[in-house]
Amino acid sequence: MPSLIDIRRRVRSVKNTQQITKAMKMVSAAKLRRAQDQAIAARPYGVLLRQMLANVAQGAANDPDAGAHPLLAVRPEQRILLVVITADSGLAGAFNSNLIKLAHRFAEEHKNATLSFELIGKKGVNYFRRRFSGIAGTHTDLFRRVKFEDAERIANLIISRFEKGEVDAVYLFTNEFKNAMAPALTSTRILPIEVPKTAQTMDYIYEQNPGELLGSLLPRYVRLLIYRAFMESVAAEHAARMVAMEAATKNASEVIDKLTLLMNRVRQASITREIIEIVSGASALE
């Protein structure tokens, strides 16, 4: 049975850990509010851009050059680029591991194709770098402050590789913010772009050729997808970490209660043993 000193040390250690997890929960809760507002505020813009893309595509349907845009080219998926967005740090429950499993399972299902990876976040970089070759690029420390310039730079790299024919398809793997309890794992093909269909057609008055306008909208659409994925991932990460730290704080309280009960039992056993020794010594002197 452990001594009282050992148990007290363990209780003190767990209490210190509990203070850390409680502080991390509060920090994540504060950051979640801002990240959640940014992610939700960007969603209407994405919906409107998608609708505009559909309307312009219908307006450019009579233009034979509009369908020949490089970002619309559908080719057999022999060379696939996986864009995986994970966090730079852990302590967020299964936030990173579930997404990595999803991307890994996709890679195993398409092992006959030539795979390359564009990895965003240290957790994904550390995992895939040890297990797969063909790492096209790595990007870390981007989520302390999400900037459109970073998303635009990565999107331009992806667009350039697709236009040059280096890859035939691009898939995006990320955690989308659903609610504070659990993120939604998403796997989306972002290239080639599948022009959405819309039942509500807007009759635009075009100052320029609809085909040229469509050509300028398509790269913007890809950049927006990457930027939105950044914001959704950050919000989902803070939510997952808040939930994980709340669970860790609760578990620490249970451990403290068990150790306190054990400490009281050890103390009671020690007192009982001393009383027995005193009574036995007194009886021996009689």
The pLDDT of residue 244 is above 60: yes
* pLDDT beyond 70 at 67: no
134-160 exposure pattern, b = at least 16 Cβ within 10 A, e = fewer: eebbbbeebbeebeeebbbebbebbbe
Place 155 in a pLDDT band, splitting at 50, 70 and 90: very high
Q: Which whole number is the average pLDDT over 269-280?
A: 77
169-176 and 184-191 beta bridge pairing: antiparallel
Q: How far apart are CA 150 and CA 164, in angstroms?
A: 22
Residues 6+ apart with CB under 8 A from 16: none
Task: Tell me the mean pLDDT in the region 172-177.
Answer: 94
Mean pLDDT computed over 36-60: 83
> Tokens 């194709």 belong to which residue?
113
Residue 1, pLDDT > 90, answer: no
The whole-chain average pLDDT of the chain stands at 87
Contacting residues for 142 by C-beta, under 8 A, at least 6 apart: 88, 120, 121, 150, 230
Q: How confident is the model at residue 69 (pLDDT cuts 50, 70, 90)?
A: confident
CA pair distance 234, 227, nearest whole angstrom: 11
- What distance in Å separates the CA atoms of residue 177 and residue 186, rounded to the nearest whole number? 10
Is the pLDDT score of 130 beyond 60? yes
pLDDT at 158 over 90: yes
Distance, in Å, from the CA atom of 58 to the CA atom of 197, rounded to the nearest integer, reads 9
The pTM of this model reads 0.85
4, 268 Cβ separation under 8 angstroms = no
What is the DSSP code (8-state) at residue 34?
H
**For residue 28, what are the CA distances in angstroms to 20, 228, 250, 269?**
12, 20, 16, 44
pLDDT at res. 189: 93
Q: Which DSSP string do the residues of 135-203 spell out, in sequence order?
A: EEEEE-S-SSS--HHHHHHHHHHHHHHHHTTS-SEEEEEEEEP--SS--EEEEEEEES--PPP-SS---
Angstrom distances, CA of residue 213 to CA of 54, 199, 204, 218, 256 = 12, 20, 12, 9, 64
**Pairing between β-strand 79-85 and β-strand 184-191 as defined by DSSP bridges:** unpaired
pLDDT of residue 271: 78
For 193-215, the pLDDT digits (tens) are 887 776 566 666 667 777 788 88
One-character DSSP codes across 195-220: PPP-SS------SS-HHHHHHHHHHH
pLDDT above 90 (res 161): yes
**Choice among 139-148, 166-175, 199-208 with the minimum mean pLDDT:** 199-208
Q: pLDDT tens-digit profile of 250-268?
A: 999 999 999 999 888 888 8
**Contact predicate 257/86, CB 8 Å:** no
Per residue in 76-124, pLDDT tens? 999 999 999 999 998 888 999 999 999 999 999 998 999 999 999 999 9
Write down the CATH number for the domain with range 27-195+211-242: 3.40.1380.10
The pLDDT assigned to 272 comes to 82
Decide if 91 contacts 24 (C-beta within 8 A): yes
